[in-house]
Structure 1
């Protein structure tokens, strides 16, 4: 199919075309979250099945998306956006606390958000893997964004004298992999721990990275 179908214009039922389009898109994404995250999965879902779950037609699907991959891409970005917003808000509230307390607040907010709905974990950590070069690039770009988030906060901690000053790119990349793997395994039931215990372990790991043995030098 060369492109999306032409969108209707004007008001209908008291709503503008833009409002109706936004509602259709929301319903398709919610259906995708359910089918990809709790149902047969992305690879076993068809456009017809997704449209039926959304209560819309396949014609309406192609008015909003080119392919099912577009739906998965949008969901992956949405799940990451929700988690990022939670982490940033927590950091803003905890900005004046000591390093350990700031880290705990941020990870608690992130973990609570991403694990609040098991469908989000499946979208972010399972369904997105190996779909296409395009989605792999998107996944790595969002992962790089989390790495930059950790590096920026590490740099601020170092500037405050709370952490060792160094380039944290490699350490942050390894740490983000640990965060993702631990949360996935915990939500899948492979790790016997509470969410608070998970957060405490992540904070311990981060502090060990930021404050290695022998730091500060005069200790």
Structure 2
């Protein structure tokens, strides 16, 4: 057996490297979501992970590389929450999305800080990752909404715009809610959202009727 694959303490070299990588990612989530990405250092991450500094470069070339991996993990968890709910109509789909987003942010404040604040403006690379992940969630949400409509379907471009609008509005709602110390209570905020969407629908139908009467 080569040195590369030789077991140590019951684990192969590959398994040990994988375990150390997971330790670094876990430490990155903790530090970026509490102290902030810009305040973190490679040394601090390794200290949090309980690893020698040399092991950082075994898995990541830079701290930004770790941030990208951390963000991918955070968004995967968020995506599972916001897309978990079903719904036979558009209102139920939207409520499931926002209810899942709010519940996730409140239950996971460390991860929420990474997603809502720490990845913004780091670099063009991280900005593109942020946009791509938002687009993925937006596309899936818009597709679900489109599936509830009995009338004419949106074009692909219109679905993309709808997804961007909903994700952008959802993020802004959650940011404001987190900064406001989770006030008003989640169910109350969702009720306000339902009422607002209802108002928009009624106002839109009224405008449509007026235009048809001209």
Give TM-score, length-normalised by structure 1: 0.80
Aligned residue among 32, 38, 43 for 1:36: 32
Q: Does 1:107 align with 2:102?
A: no
Residues 178/98 of structure 1: CA separation in 2 closer, same or farther (3 Å cut): closer
- Give 1 or 2: higher helix fraction: 2
**Which of 134, 150, 169 is equivalent to 2:160?**
169
> Deviations for 1:98-135, whole angstroms, at most 9, x for unmatched residues?
44334323432232223311111211111101111111
Q: Distance in 2 between matches of 1:26 and 1:192?
A: 34
Distance 1:203 1:142, change over 3 A: farther
Contact 1:111 1:199 in 2 (8 A): no
Q: Is the 8 A contact 1:171 1:209 kept in 2?
A: no
Aligned length: 203
Is 2:188 aligned against 1:197? yes
| Superposition map of 1:32-181 within 5 A | 32-39=28-35, 41-91=36-86, 94=87, 97-158=88-149, 160-161=150-151, 165-166=153-154, 167-181=158-172
1:1-40 deviation line (CA, Å, top 9, x unaligned): xxxxxx953211112223222221121111111111112x
- For residues 208 and 60 of structure 1, do their structure 2 counterparts lie closer, same or farther at Cα, with a shift above 3 Å needed? farther
Say whether 1:21 aligns with 2:9. Answer: no
Answer yes or no: is the 8 Å Cα contact 1:48–1:58 preserved in 2. Answer: yes
Listed one character per residue, the Cα deviations across residues 64-108 of structure 1 (whole Å, up to 9, x for unaligned) are: 1111101111111111101112233323xx4xx444334323432
In 2, the alpha carbon distance for the partners of 1:208 and 1:155 equals: 20
TM-score, normalized by length of structure 2? 0.81
**Uncovered stretches (5+) of structure 2, i.e. residues with no partner:** 210-214
- Which runs of 5 or more residues in structure 1 are unaligned? 1-6
- Does the 8 Å contact 1:33/1:119 carry over to 2? yes
- 1:14 partner SS: coil
Relative distance call for 1:191 and 1:125 in structure 2 (3 A) is: same
Decide whether aligned partners of structure 1 residues 147 and 51 sit closer, same or farther in structure 2, where only a CA change above 3 A counts: same
How much does 1:191 deviate?
Answer: 6.2
Larger radius of gyration: 2
